[in-house]
C-alpha cells in the first residue's frame, strides 16, 4: 500500500479545506446536532479516544474533568465522548475560570484532567490564591495536548501535582485528539494504525526518510467515510520509534513532536524550535512555569529575548543572585540551541496566561 500511496500528491492545509467541502455529504438541510452526530460516527473520534483512555489505565472508577474548549474545537468533544464510552464520569467544565475548576475538582473528587500544559501550570500557581490545597484534591492522571511542550515540562507538572501525565497527539484534519497516545509505560505515542497510514518525509524535498530519522509526519485516513484524507502533511516533526512496547500493543509509536515545519525560527542562520528553548529553560533550577520569546532585528542581527518567570523566593533583593541565574539560563540556551539570548526575569504572574493554546513567540522582525 505504501508504494502506491507515494504516487498520491501530498496535501497541505488549504488544499484539505477545499476537498472537505466537496466530500462533506451534507448538501441536504439538516440540523447542526444531526450533522455533528453523523460526523462523529463516521470519523471514529469516540472509538479512538476510548482506546486512548483505556491504554492509560483509566476506567469506570474515574472522574474525568475536561478543561478543553467545547464547540467547534475537536479537543473538547473528542475526549468527552471517548471518556463516556470508557465508562468514566465526565465533567464538561470547559476552559477557563480557574476557581470554578478547582471547586469542581474538589467536589467531584476528579481523578483525571484534560488540559493544555500551560493551563495545568497556571492552575498550580493559583492554588493558594483560590484557597485550595493540593492534598484536598484526588488527582491521579492528566492528558495534555493542544500545544507543543517539552519532556521537562511534563516532568515538572508530574512533580508539582504528584500525578502521571500522558502525552497525546492529534490534529483536526485527522480527528482531533487521540490520533496517537501514550500507554501506561509512557514510552512514545502509539498511532492507531488500523485507522491511519503513517509516513515520514524530508520537509524540504517531500521524499521518504528512514523511520529512525527525524522527518515530517504524513498521514492517510483508512477507515473514515466522512472527509477521508490522503497523504496529509501534518507539519509536525517526529521520528518513528523502533521495537515493541511492553504494553503488548503492536501499533507503531512516534516520539514526542519536536517542532513544526512552520514554527521553526531562523536566528542569525541558526535553526531553532521554540520547544528546544522550552526544554533547555525548564532544566534550570529556579525557573517557574511561564515564559515568552521575543525576536527583534538589531542592526543586521537577530536578537532573541527570553522572558521567564522565576520562583518568588529568588526576589530577595540580592541582585547578584538574579544576575547569576540570568547567566545560567543564557549559557544553557547557548549550549543547547547555539544562540545566546537576552534573558529577562519576572515574578510569578507577570507574564500573560493562556487558558487554551499558549502564544509563546512574538516575532517583531520586519517582514521582507
Give residue 251's pLDDT band: very low, low, confident or very high (50, 70, 90). very high
Strand order in the sheet with 89-91: 89-91, 63-66, 112-115, 141-144, 164-171, 176-181, 189-191, 253-254, 240-241
The pLDDT value given to residue 47: 57
Pick the CATH number of 2-260 from 3.90.950.20, 1.10.3720.10, 3.40.50.12780, 3.30.930.10: 3.40.50.12780
The pLDDT value given to residue 22: 34
Which residues sit opposite 363 in a β-bridge? 295
Copy the grid coordinates of residue 278: 522550552
Give residue 276's pLDDT band: very low, low, confident or very high (50, 70, 90). confident
Of residues 242, 263, 267, 268, the one with CA closest to residue 253: 242
The secondary structure of residue 313, as a DSSP letter, is G
Give residue 194's pLDDT band: very low, low, confident or very high (50, 70, 90). confident
Q: Give the residue extent of every domain in the chain.
A: 2-260, 265-363
Contact 283, 157 (CB under 8 A): no
The H helix count followed by the E strand count for the chain is 10, 19
Q: How far apart are CA 281 and CA 279, in angstroms?
A: 5
Q: How far apart are CA 317 and CA 322, in angstroms?
A: 9
The DSSP element (H or E) to which 189 belongs, if any, is strand 189-191
pLDDT at 26 over 50: no
Strands (E), 222-264: 232-238, 240-241, 253-254, 259-260
Burial class (CB in 10 A: 0-12, 13-18, 19+), 330: middle
Average pLDDT, whole number, for the chain?
A: 84
Domain 265-363 has CATH 3.30.300.30: yes
Half-sphere exposure at residue 174, Cβ-oriented, CA atoms within 13 angstroms: 30
The pLDDT value given to residue 332: 93
Which tens digit of pLDDT belongs to each residue from 28-61?
A: 443 344 444 555 555 555 556 788 899 999 999 9
Which residues sit opposite 196 in a β-bridge? 221
Burial class (CB in 10 A: 0-12, 13-18, 19+), 72: exposed
The pLDDT value given to residue 268: 77
Alpha helices by DSSP H, 184-318: 274-282
The secondary structure of residue 261, as a DSSP letter, is T
Residue listed under C-alpha cell 473528587: 109
Calculate what percentage of the chain has a pLDDT beyond 90. Answer: 45
pTM for the whole structure: 0.69
Which tens digit of pLDDT belongs to each residue from 302-340?
A: 899 999 998 888 877 788 889 999 999 999 999 988 889
The pLDDT value given to residue 255: 93
Copy the grid coordinates of residue 114: 484534560
Which tens digit of pLDDT belongs to each residue from 331-361?
A: 999 998 888 999 999 988 888 877 666 788 8
Strands 232-238 vs 189-191: parallel, antiparallel or unpaired: unpaired
Amino acid at each position: 500500500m505504501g508504494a502506491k500511496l507515494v504516487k498520491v500528491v501530498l496535501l497541505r492545509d488549504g488544499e484539505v479545506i477545499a476537498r472537505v467541502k466537496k466530500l462533506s455529504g451534507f448538501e441536504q438541510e439538516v440540523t447542526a446536532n444531526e450533522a455533528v452526530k453523523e460526523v462523529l460516527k463516521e470519523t471514529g473520534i469516540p472509538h479512538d479516544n476510548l482506546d486512548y483512555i483505556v491504554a492509560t489505565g483509566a476506567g469506570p472508577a474515574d472522574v474525568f474533568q475536561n478543561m478543553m474548549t467545547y464547540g467547534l474545537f475537536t479537543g473538547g468533544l473528542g475526549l468527552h465522548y471517548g471518556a463516556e464510552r470508557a465508562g468514566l464520569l465526565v465533567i464538561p467544565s470547559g476552559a477557563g475560570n480557574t476557581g470554578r475548576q478547582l471547586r469542581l475538582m474538589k467536589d467531584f473528587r476528579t481523578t483525571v484532567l484534560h488540559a493544555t500544559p500551560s493551563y495545568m501550570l497556571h492552575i498550580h500557581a493559583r492554588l493558594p490564591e483560590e484557597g485550595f490545597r493540593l492534598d484536598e484534591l484526588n488527582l491521579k492522571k492528566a492528558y495534555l495536548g493542544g500545544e507543543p511542550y517539552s519532556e521537562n515540562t511534563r516532568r515538572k507538572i508530574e512533580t508539582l501535582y504528584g500525578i502521571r501525565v500522558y502525552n497525546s497527539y492529534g490534529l483536526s484534519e485527522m480527528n482531533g485528539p487521540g490520533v496517537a497516545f501514550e500507554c501506561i509505560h509512557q514510552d512514545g505515542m502509539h498511532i492507531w494504525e488500523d485507522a491511519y497510514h503513517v509516513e515520514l518525509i524530508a520537509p524540504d524535498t517531500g521524499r521518504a526518510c528512514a523511520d529512525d530519522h527525524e522527518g515530517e509526519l504524513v498521514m492517510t485516513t483508512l477507515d473514515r467515510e466522512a472527509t477521508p484524507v490522503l497523504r496529509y502533511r501534518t507539519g509536525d516533526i517526529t521520528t518513528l520509534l523502533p521495537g515493541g512496547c511492553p504494553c503488548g500493543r503492536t501499533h507503531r509509536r512516534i516520539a514526542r513532536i519536536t517542532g513544526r515545519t512552520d514554527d521553526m525560527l531562523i536566528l542569525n542562520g541558526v535553526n531553532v524550535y521554540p520547544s528546544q528553548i522550552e526544554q533547555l529553560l525548564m532544566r534550570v533550577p529556579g525557573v517557574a512555569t511561564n515564559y515568552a520569546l521575543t525576536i527583534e532585528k538589531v542592526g543586521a542581527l537577530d536578537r532573541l529575548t527570553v522572558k521567564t518567570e522565576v520562583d518568588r523566593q529568588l526576589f530577595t533583593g540580592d541582585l547578584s543572585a538574579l544576575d547569576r541565574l540570568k547567566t545560567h539560563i543564557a549559557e544553557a540556551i547557548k549550549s543547547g540551541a547555539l544562540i545566546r539570548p537576552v534573558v529577562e526575569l519576572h515574578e510569578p504572574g507577570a507574564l500573560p496566561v493562556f487558558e487554551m493554546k499558549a502564544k509563546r513567540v512574538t516575532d517583531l522582525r520586519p517582514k521582507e
